[in-house]
Structure 1
Amino acid sequence: MALAERVTHRASRWRAPVARTPRHALVQRWWERSPDGWSVQDGMADEERWLDVAYSDQTLVTSVGLLHADHATGDERPTGRPTSSSTLPSLNIQMLQHARIGDKDTLGHIGTGPGYGDCLACHRLGDKQVTSMDVDPYLVEAARERLGELGLHPTLETVDATGELPGSFDRIVATVAVRPIPASWLVALNPGGRLVTTIAGTSLLITADKNEDGSASGRVEWDRAGFMHARSGADYPPGLAELLATARDHDGEDITTGRYPVVQVTEAWDLASMLDVTTPGIEHEFEEVDGFRTALMAHADGSWARATAHGTDSPTVHQGGPRRLWDALDAVRDHWLANGELPVRGARVFVKPNGSTYLARGSWSAKL
């Protein structure tokens, strides 16, 4: 009940589902970061801590790369990216609230994970109105078993959600991020239905209602949300570690003095979102040592940048490759200072039947 009080209002229809959902039964083992990499945590080995962690409002990583915590030994230290998690309860509730779910609505949930969001939805709607999908067959089977032990039997399917969905729904809520929005989601959405998702590479939370012509229209909500990218395979493709190493160690083709202080882009959510809309696909690294800040940027097209400075001093900027990534970042910061805000948050959203997604606010517009 304490978790329900923290993440819901007392009048919320989601308060009772949160209070009834035994999160610890769905997440029995998880990963935590340690100095030498990810380390597995076994709830049954320390039941008091297990309950403390399970009923805190935090995300619990359950898979790293190809290794699920359920299958890990105590000495394994995976180094890949997280591939599954139990999303923090407040964010689960936020996504479900944005769907504006009615008592008789059917729900298609994309991103089963450990099944926590599905448990909430089943308690709110009844399990016959809930269908959940994940690309990982183990996650689906584990969720089916654990939900079944709780007396809940929603429809659970192993599917690549970027393709055809198994059924049609009044509401679709995705707890994975996509870009572009798959056309199949609009096909599976019933007329007048509502879609809630996030855009990969950003913290943009989109809600859109289906129109009679098969398109959808809505807005970028003022709330912020971030999820793992939807994937078609067991793991994510390799990142840009080699190019980031180049950015760290080499002189650039262009060496200039930046106009603005070095910033940790990934922690500046609106800035990062606007940059990824205008220049998608950049990977970032940041460190601060003894007051010296270093920001690295890399793109799959071979572009890279490095900015270094002490504190908020003007940075020395090295850039290489076909595009100037730090210049793209500075252009976004120019817009912010000139206009007082960035237009991406609160923008109108238009989704064509083929999934092409457009954002617009005032005189600004962009195609994702």
Structure 2
Amino acid sequence: MDWEIHARRLADGHLRPESPWWKPIASTPRHLFVPNWWERGTGGRVARNGPADPSAWFKAAYRNQTLVTRIGADHADRVQPGTVVPYGRWPTSSSTLPSLMATMYRHAMLADGSRTLVTTGTGYGTALACRRLGDDQLVTSVDVDPYLVEVATDRLAGIGLHPRTGVCDITQTLPADVDRIVSTVSVRPVPASWLTALRPGGRLVTTITGTAIILVADKTPDGGARGFISSDQATFMRTRHGDDYDDAVAAAEVWKAADEDGERSVSRYPLTYVPDSWAVQATLELEAPGIEHRTEQHEDGGRTVWMAHPDGSWARASTTKARDLPTVHQGGSRRLWDLLTGILDRLIIGGELPVTGARVTITPDGQTTLSRGRWSTTL
């Protein structure tokens, strides 16, 4: 099959020809970086093998979508096709959708000669950076997973690209003296090691864990950085330091408690499922990180939403009719629904939440503060 036709169609569908990222996407065989992936199925994610079904392979690879390649410690390359992993385990590596890679690189403002450090994953994003910069040695690609680095290095070499690659925990010491850092894993806060690695005036682009916030900051003469929160959003997997996340699934006891009676009240706002609103979710995660959310639609038109935190705090809100104010039950050390209500108060009074358009200040030791007007929060 002619992959170039598919790659050009992918580029044409999301970028103008004059974009500096049109040619990298149009000239990179994405399918070679994702020969195996996990696809959503009934009861869990199913391992798919591209060469066994080239038509499905090309359809998946040249669609503007993220392809999950690793769940927990199970890489799709290393399991039998058709293997099913039940839902509930967290993905730990993927090939990011191409248009989002272009967005992250656009914010980084890569210029000819920019020494750029990127995260590896499948190697596809690394390939795009190499195509854009022209000189492979300008690109350094790192990942915490030795297998990912090894296989990505081989696949990059297979299409004639030879960036510097290495196994590295991106929250620790990085290869120094770079002009750009583009991270497609999320962090909280920005690691101080990034500021050490950046040249004066260098730029970092990343996301804040759990928020879909894209943070852009330029290194300042004092060794810190200043920047802004982008109007774009992106969700990336959070950094891990081993084969899997230490807290991959919320404690079962917390979710069990979320169905108890607890403290009962009636909300003054309509039923709110936090993930439905980017700004609400981002603000809540900034102020109370680690809350997980679930929802269920009932046949009678009602709905229930749950919130749970690993510290044992939980909240449940339910309606029997779509327009009813929900009945709320809360328990644990904090009242999660009350935290949400405070954020909704600010939204109603101000018309928007201050996270939109916030300024970013990072001290040389990595302390990261977002602020807008009288509002500020330090990660």
Fold match (TM-score > 0.5): yes
**C-alpha offsets along residues 139-161 of structure 1, whole Å, 9 cap, x if unaligned?**
11110010110010101111111
Unaligned runs of 5+ in 2: 1-7
Q: Which amino acid in structure 1 is aligned with residue 370 of structure 2? A: L
1:47-104 Cα shifts (integer Å, max 9, x gaps): 1111111111000000011100011113422232100000000100000000011101
| Match in the other structure for 2:341 | 330
Match of 1:283 in 2: 292
Matched with 2:211 is 202
| 1:64 equivalent in alignment to 2:93 | no
Residue pair 1:243, 1:298 contacting (<8 A) in 2 also: no
Q: Which residue of 2 aligns with 1:302?
A: 312
- Most deviating of 137-146 and 259-268: 259-268
After TM superposition, give the deviation of residue 259 of structure 1 in Å.
1.4
Is 1:29 equivalent to 2:36 in the alignment? yes
Q: Deviations over 1:90-122 (max 9, x none)?
A: 10000000001110110001x311111100000
Alignment-derived partner of residue 355 in structure 1: 366
Give the structure-2-normalised TM-score.
0.94
* Residues 134 and 140, structure 1, Cα contact 8 Å, conserved in 2: yes
One-letter identity of the residue aligned with 1:33: R
Deviation digits for residues 283-319 of structure 1 (CA, Å, limit 9, x no counterpart):
1111212122111111122111111113231111110
Residue number in structure 2 paired with 1:52: 59
Report the Cα distance in structure 1 between the residues aligned to 2:312 and 2:252, rounded to whole angstroms: 10
Of residues 106, 127, 130, the one that matches 2:136 is 127
Instruction: Give 3-state SS (helix, strand or coil) of 1:175's partner.
Output: coil
- The residue type paired with residue 115 of structure 1 is G
3-state SS of paired residue (2:230): strand
How many residue pairs were aligned? 366
Identity of aligned residues (%): 50
Partner of 1:219: 228
CA distance in 2, matches of 1:33, 1:264: 23
CA contact 1:65–1:78 (8 Å) conserved in 2? no
Distance 1:136 1:261 in 2: 44
* 3-state SS of paired residue (1:178): coil
SS in 1 for 2:51: helix
Q: Is the 8 A contact 1:26 1:143 kept in 2?
A: yes
Once the two structures are superposed, the pairs formed by residues 40-189 of structure 1 within 5 Å of their partners are 40-79=47-86, 80-109=89-118, 111-125=119-133, 126-189=135-198
Shift in Å at residue 267 of structure 1? 2.9
Structure 1: runs of 5+ lacking an equivalent: none
Q: CA deviation at 1:246?
A: 2.2
Looking at structure 2, the residues matched to 348 and 260 of structure 1 have their Cα atoms a distance apart, in angstroms, of: 29
1:274 aligns with 2:280: no
Q: CA RMSD in A?
A: 1.1
Distance 1:63 1:263 in 2: 32
16, 19, 23: which one pairs with 1:16? 23
Distance, in Å, in 1 between the alignment partners of 2:318 and 2:105 is 42
Distance across 2 between alignment mates of 1:241 and 1:9: 47
**Residue 329 of structure 2 corresponds to residue 314 of structure 1:** no
**Runs of at least 4 residues off by over 3 Å:** none
**Structure 1 counterpart of 2:376, one-letter code:** S
- Which secondary structure does the structure 2 equivalent of 1:220 belong to? strand
Aligned residue type for 1:314: L
1:176–1:230 contact (8 Å) kept in structure 2: yes
Aligned-pair distance for 1:244? 4.3
| 1:261 positional shift | 2.1
Q: What residue identity is the alignment partner of 1:44?
A: P
